[in-house]
Amino acid sequence: MTDYLPDTPSVARAYCPGCEPDADPSREILDVRWCESHCPARDGADDAAVSAAAYLSGSAEAGGDDNRRWCEALHRR
């Protein structure tokens, strides 16, 4: 017996949605691999639409007040 375990062969077929728009994932297992000409853009037009002018920080979690009340009620001395 050896300690070497061979890699399991992939049962999925490489598939580019731009090259094969009619491929049916219900008939076969598809592994999405974009080709060079159909690769989605890494930046979009909406990237500059949102800007952060202020640094937002807080010390409380959302809904923390309710949790704090329960803790005070259950753990009071």
Check residue 24 and give left, alpha or beta (phi > 0: left; psi -120 to 50: alpha): beta
4 occurs within a structural domain: no
- Domain total in the chain: 1
46 occurs within a structural domain: no
More confident residue, 10 or 55: 10
Domain extent, residue 28, equals 10-40
Q: What is the pLDDT of residues 34-60, one digit of tens each?
A: 999 999 887 777 777 767 666 655 555
23 occurs within a structural domain: yes
69 occurs within a structural domain: no
pTM of the predicted model, to two decimals?
A: 0.44
